[in-house]
Amino acid sequence: MNGFLPISKQDMTERGWYYCDFLIVTGDAYVDHPSFGTAIISRVLEDAGYKVAILSQPDFRDEHDFLAMGRPRYAVLINGGNIDSMVAHYTSAKKRRSDDAYTPGGKGGKRPDRAVTVYSMLARRAFPDTPVYLGGIEASLRRFAHYDYWADRVMPSILESTGADGVMYGMSEHSVVELANNLQHGRKGADACVGVRGTAYMAHDAEGLAWDAVECPSYEDVCASKPDYARSVKLQYDEQDAVRGRALLQRHGRRVLIQNPPAKPLTTEEMDHVYALPYMRTYHPSYEALGGVPAIQEVQFSIIHNRGCFGACNFCALAFHQGRYIQVRSHESVIEEAKKITQMPGFKGYIHDVGGPTANFRFPACKKQDTHGCCKDKRCLFPSACSNIEADHTDYLNLLRELRRIEGIKKVFVRSGLRYDYMMADRNDAFFKELVEHHISGQLKVAPEHMSDNALYYMGKPSFNVYEQFRERYARINQKLGRKQYLVPYLMSSHPGATLDDAIMLAQYLNRIGYMPEQVQDFYPTPGTLSTAMYYTGIDPRTMKPVYVAKTPEEKAMQRALLQWRRPDKRPIILAALKKAGREDLIGYGKECLIRPNRSGEQNVAPRSSKPAHRHGVSAARPENPRRSGKPAAKPASRAPQPKKGWAKPKKKK
């Protein structure tokens, strides 16, 4: 018997089990690593004394696989996997992906579209009298009525569409144990969620709630009125705080969705305990013959040291899922995990990442958040760093130094997201210098997303001037250290508010600095974000004012192509975009021009960049695969697949 939790009846028999208390159904392969939600929740329940079995990627044509291990004693717990099943299956252009990094061998098609919904229906068919509860990112972001990009319409709460008994939203260690204890003591169905923070459920009325509550516009109202939809989303964001957040209500016909306030953040001691549970830190051995699970490669030798992000970009679901409050592990806990990694097969001395949603956050933005929560109508870093923010990298820097001293570790990298605006708010250069000297390998990746302040406003990102200052500071430190390392910016096209003129401005900037990105993310309207609300309604929920949205495939393709203006295959659409915007002045032979005019018999090529890349601290070379700590980056929800190589060299003018 191996150390993994049971995945079959035989595994249960070998443990002497006649039943399991909880059956966890997941759209991912079973990977027992703390970067995977299924692994954490299953180990937390096991630690609480419950028998847990794992049903990974069951056949979704019928309920046969659900019946294989027998009826669970208390409940079926369902998640779609580490990323939304629709994002796993489709690009932002709604084209079907052919692979899936969370499946054995990287094979696509092993989970259904809308996996949580399909699995819920199969669970009901297999066990009609057993409670079903949902969790994970897919269910969490669909707990209210939401706009569905793939169906292009507003859908009801996932509780309404699946008939499940409840949703555990956000990070659910507290919620799942409290829910399990309620079930053990005889409470059933939605009643087991009553009074449990971090859960939502449907009821006939909202009487007797333990908390103050506020009501969102109903499902029927948000379907009929886009302003009501925008107001509903803003209200949901306002109450997403464990300190000051109220319960939220949303009527669906004759029933009402009740969301209890968010779960309390884990303390450092609780975080340490969760990450010290007996994870096997790899995929189940039954997948070896199938080629393993590709997603493990990005996280197997990485460490998560924090949770939450007070950056709260409008297009990111983190604020609505994990929240803005920062939770961290102790140095001792992180070091202990690093020592375990050094003993793992295949470890070659390199810790691939010490990060999280945002790597360089080690404590809440300000002390006020501990007692008053995060500000409702203010952002910590937008439009600029708040005067109350405590920008200090000392603790994170000391942690990295301690990790570097561990025997067997040659290098410790930081590869997950770094908030460069937070770094610029720290007047002490010590962290910046040691990051450049010790913790990157040739290039540093950050996410300015755009250079137009108009576009950045709607993204909830700081002014582009902050990035420019960061870039210059990075170049100076590299020069002082005698290093030739590059800055790789992530960029996004077609975000709500971003116009064709904004895309042209960005293309001109990239041309001036001599950088042509190979990775460009077209905005992806996923459930549960402010940006998606803007995309659907054409209204900014923050101000209720109209916002421009590029929705047609033609304009979206134009904005994206402009960021890769040197690609010969993009020439026709770039030419059309420049003419549409009245910018024929950028078609010519000058150094500021993006493309050359058509000439009889001449190959369609772009002009040379006006300045060499190395003079600007950026590289035109193909960057490494992006990654986010805690979520393997082979299929990230927030980044598009890399385009193929094939840049044509400009021909000399005859």
Predicted confidence (pLDDT) per residue in 316-329, tens digit:
988 888 899 999 99
Percent of the chain with pLDDT over 90: 86
Between 251-255, 516-520, 599-603, the lowest mean confidence (pLDDT) is in 599-603
Q: Would you place residue 416 in the very low, low, confident or very high pLDDT band (cuts 50, 70, 90)?
A: confident
pLDDT of residue 516: 86
C-alpha–C-alpha distance, residues 282 and 278, integer Å: 12
Residue 349 within a domain? no
pLDDT of residue 630: 39
* Residue at which a domain ends, from 259, 286, 315: 259
The mean per-residue pLDDT over the stretch 624-651 comes to 37
CA distances from 419 to 86, 310, 361, 467, 498 (A): 28, 10, 9, 10, 22
The mean per-residue pLDDT over the stretch 596-624 comes to 48
pLDDT of residue 518: 82
C-alpha–C-alpha distance, residues 593 and 560, integer Å: 18
Give the annotated binding-site residues for [4Fe-4S] cluster.
309, 313, 316
Between 27-31, 213-217, 415-419, 621-625, the lowest mean confidence (pLDDT) is in 621-625
Q: Would you place residue 620 in the very low, low, confident or very high pLDDT band (cuts 50, 70, 90)?
A: very low
Residue 237 within a domain? yes
CA 145 to chain centre: 20
Asked whether the predicted pLDDT for residue 15 surpasses 70, the reply is: yes
Between 452-466, 511-525, 584-598, 622-636, the lowest mean confidence (pLDDT) is in 622-636
The mean per-residue pLDDT over the stretch 399-425 comes to 96
C-alpha–C-alpha distance, residues 353 and 49, integer Å: 32
pLDDT of residue 482: 94
pLDDT of residue 608: 52
Asked if 344 contacts 380 with a C-beta cutoff of 8 angstroms, the reply is no
DSSP line for 295-312: GGGGTTTEEE-EE--TT-
Query: What pTM value is reported for the model?
Result: 0.90
The mean per-residue pLDDT over the stretch 396-406 comes to 98
Asked whether the predicted pLDDT for residue 67 surpasses 90, the reply is: yes
The mean per-residue pLDDT over the stretch 161-186 comes to 97
Q: Would you place residue 554 in the very low, low, confident or very high pLDDT band (cuts 50, 70, 90)?
A: very high
Give the annotated binding-site residues.
309, 313, 316
For residue 80, which phi and psi values (nearest 5 degrees)?
-85, -10
The mean per-residue pLDDT over the stretch 217-234 comes to 98
Asked if 603 contacts 595 with a C-beta cutoff of 8 angstroms, the reply is no
* Residue at which a domain ends, from 206, 238, 259: 259
Residue 398 within a domain? no
Percent of the chain with pLDDT over 70: 91
Residue 332 within a domain? no
Residue 37 belongs to domain spanning = 9-259
Q: Would you place residue 629 in the very low, low, confident or very high pLDDT band (cuts 50, 70, 90)?
A: very low
The mean per-residue pLDDT over the stretch 150-174 comes to 96
Between 1-5, 190-194, 498-502, the lowest mean confidence (pLDDT) is in 1-5
Asked if 43 contacts 30 with a C-beta cutoff of 8 angstroms, the reply is no
Residue 360 within a domain? no
The mean per-residue pLDDT over the stretch 448-470 comes to 96
Both structure tokens of 577 = 């975009």
Residue 275 within a domain? no
CA distances from 40 to 197, 270, 413 (A): 18, 13, 24
pLDDT of residue 606: 54
> How many structural domains are present in the chain?
2
Residue 650 within a domain? yes
* Residue at which a domain ends, from 259, 285, 306: 259
Between 436-450, 458-472, 488-502, 606-620, the lowest mean confidence (pLDDT) is in 606-620
The mean per-residue pLDDT over the stretch 348-371 comes to 95
Residue 456 within a domain? no
